[in-house]
Amino acid sequence: MLLLHGWTATADLNFFTCYTALAEHFRVIAMDHRGHGRGIRTTQPFRLDDCADDAAALADQLGITTFIPVGYSMGGTVAQLMWQRHEQRVRGLVLCATSSYFASSVRERRVFTLLTGISSAARATPKRVRDWISDRLYVSRKTMTWEPWAAHQLASHDWRQILEAGAALGRFDSREWLGNIDVPVSVVINMNDRVVSTARQQRIAELIPGARSWEVEGDHDSVWANAAEFVPSLVEACLHVHRRADEGAHGDAAN
Alpha-carbon distance of 46 to 32, in angstroms, equals 14
139 pLDDT band, cuts 50/70/90, is: very low
- Which CATH number is associated with domain 2-103+174-254? 3.40.50.1820
| Helix then strand then coil, % of the chain, to nearest 5 | 55, 10, 35
What are the extents of the domains in the chain? 2-103+174-254
Q: How would you classify residue 97: left for phi > 0, otherwise alpha for psi between -120 and 50, otherwise beta? A: left
Rounded Cα distance between 97 and 93, Å, is: 13
Decide if 102 contacts 172 (C-beta within 8 A): yes
Q: Please tell me the predicted confidence (pLDDT) of residue 135.
A: 47
φ and ψ at residue 7, rounded to 5 degrees: -65, 135
Amino acid 109: pLDDT: 61
- pLDDT exceeds 50 at position 125: no
Q: What is the pLDDT of residues 45-103, one digit of tens each?
A: 999 999 999 999 999 999 999 999 999 999 999 999 999 999 999 999 999 999 999 87
pLDDT score at 150: 76
